Amino acid sequence: MSNTDYYSKNELMNFIDTKPLDIEICDVTLRDGEQTPGVAFTKEEKIDLAMELDAIGVEVIEAGFPVVSSSEKEIVKEISNMGLNSNICCLARSVISDVDAAIDCDVDIVSIFIAMSDLHLKFKYHKSCADVFSCAMSSIEHAKDHGLKVRFAAEDGTRTDVETLKKAFIAAEEYKVDYVSIADTIGILSPATTHYLVSEINKVVNTPICIHCHDDLGMATANTLVAAEAGAKQLHTTVNGIGERAGNASLEELLVALRVQHGIERYDTTKLTGISNKLQEYSGLPIAVNKSVVGKHAFTHESGIHVMAILEEPRTYELFSPEMVGGKRNLIVGKHTGKKALKGIVEDLGYNLENDELCDLILKVKNCTEVKKGLSRERLETLIQTVQSHQR
């Protein structure tokens, strides 16, 4: 147990699957994340985020969709040639010209997608499954002929007949695809259905399976973790869980869950709060204060019982330390703060109050108009100094 990890592997043995997971992360913030309504990253912002993801240890970065525009293509190519440790991926439709754009960008991996669900075939393609599959295989063959690794992705895969999905992935293996990918495009999965689907695909293919989850039902991160437990290798994420509609599986939540639940510690989680803050700045999208791992309140404590316990042993009310994810603990004085907790917070700030001073302080705290939202450190220190001056 490192000095930033509170949890003990032995304490979790009764709850977790101890079988080692063979996984890699593919972060799609620069592509799917940018499809968030109102979000458009500059070239400099994309490059900065790519460098941050590489520093965390993310194995694959999906840098964009080159055919969208000449500027998008230029950015993807520049990221591809930055010399990062991460492999660089881009998206392509099942169209030869899209694959050519990927080839021009010097990417390591191209993700070639088609939808095979009845809904998409009828209302988007107006073609048969056989026709769209044939286009996909031609594109895959073209990409492989030009030395690219290929991820064959089934858009809306979770509303595609399972047998159709199996047959498509088996056939794609004959074209030597490097990955087959299940996209939960509308976020319909639950942990139970995720486990079933990935397990079923895993029975019939030898190619690594990818899982791409959306958060329409609030289960994207959970579904991604379960997919890994069922045998999926490549797990797709975005920073802060941004993405179309309700977003995607959250990078920070997944990396911490993999560390806590499965002992995967090769990612530098101390950089998670930093990249989260950058993403908020670049996207203009603030995260909820109670967001797991990186939210303002993730390590904030107000309840008197909690504060007293935290001051003595942080493990009582924190699963992992704020330092593990590059965050900071915040002890709040509010309406639930008792005298003992207040004394501990005051001492933690470096002050030593007599009993009368403490009683005076708690009265001032309770009558303070800001107490409902919690007093800032600066406001509390002002009250402490006021009490001390009155007692002299």
- What's the chain's average pLDDT? 92
Inter-CA distances, 346 with 19, 149, 247, 368, 392, Å: 46, 58, 41, 17, 18
Backbone dihedral angles phi then psi of residue 165, each to the nearest 5 degrees: -60, -45
Q: What pLDDT, on a 0 to 100 scale, did the predictor assign at position 8? A: 67
Q: What pLDDT, on a 0 to 100 scale, did the predictor assign at position 314? A: 86
Q: How deeply is 306 buried, as exposed, middle or buried, from its count of CB atoms within 10 A (0-12, 13-18, 19+)?
A: middle
DSSP secondary structure of 118-169: HHHIIIII-S-HHHHHHHHHHHHHHHHHTT-EEEEEEETGGGS-HHHHHHHH
Where do the domains of the chain lie? 13-283, 300-391
Closest CA to 260 of 219, 233, 225, 298: 225
CB 233 within 8 Å of CB 209:
yes
CB 74 within 8 Å of CB 47:
no
Q: How far apart are the first and last CA of the chain?
A: 48
Q: What pLDDT, on a 0 to 100 scale, did the predictor assign at position 172? A: 97
Q: What pLDDT, on a 0 to 100 scale, did the predictor assign at position 3? A: 58
Which residue is it, tokens 């592509």?
31
d(CA 98, CA 115): 16
3-state per-residue secondary structure call for 223-272 = HHHHHHHCCCCEEEEEHHHCCCCCCECEHHHHHHHHHHHHCCCCCCHHHH
- Strands 87-93 and 60-64 come out as parallel
Q: Which residues contact 294 (CB under 8 A, 6 or more apart)?
A: 240, 252, 272, 273, 276, 277, 287, 325, 327
CA dihedral (311, 315, 316, 320) in degrees, to 10, reads: 110
Q: What is the pLDDT of residues 244-272, one digit of tens each?
A: 999 999 999 999 999 999 999 999 999 99
Q: What pLDDT, on a 0 to 100 scale, did the predictor assign at position 391? A: 61
Q: Which CATH architecture has domain 13-283?
A: Alpha-Beta Barrel (3.20)
Closest CA to 88 of 69, 103, 67: 103
Q: What pLDDT, on a 0 to 100 scale, did the predictor assign at position 145? A: 97
Q: What pLDDT, on a 0 to 100 scale, did the predictor assign at position 2? A: 61
The region that residue 249 occupies, defined by phi over 0 for left and psi between -120 and 50 for alpha, beta otherwise, is beta
Contacts by residues 345-350 (CB-CB < 8 Å, ≥ 24 positions apart): 345/307, 345/311, 345/380, 346/380, 346/384, 348/311, 349/377, 349/380, 349/381, 349/384
d(CA 172, CA 180): 8
3-state per-residue secondary structure call for 162-226 = HHHHHHHHHHHHCCCCCEEEEEECCCCCCHHHHHHHHHHHHHHCCCCEEEEEECCCCCHHHHHHH
Chunk the chain into consecutive blocks of 10 residues (it has 392) and report each block's average pLDDT, rounded to whole numbers.
65 65 97 94 98 98 97 98 98 97 98 95 93 95 97 97 97 97 98 98 98 98 98 98 97 97 96 98 96 93 79 87 93 77 83 87 77 72 84 60
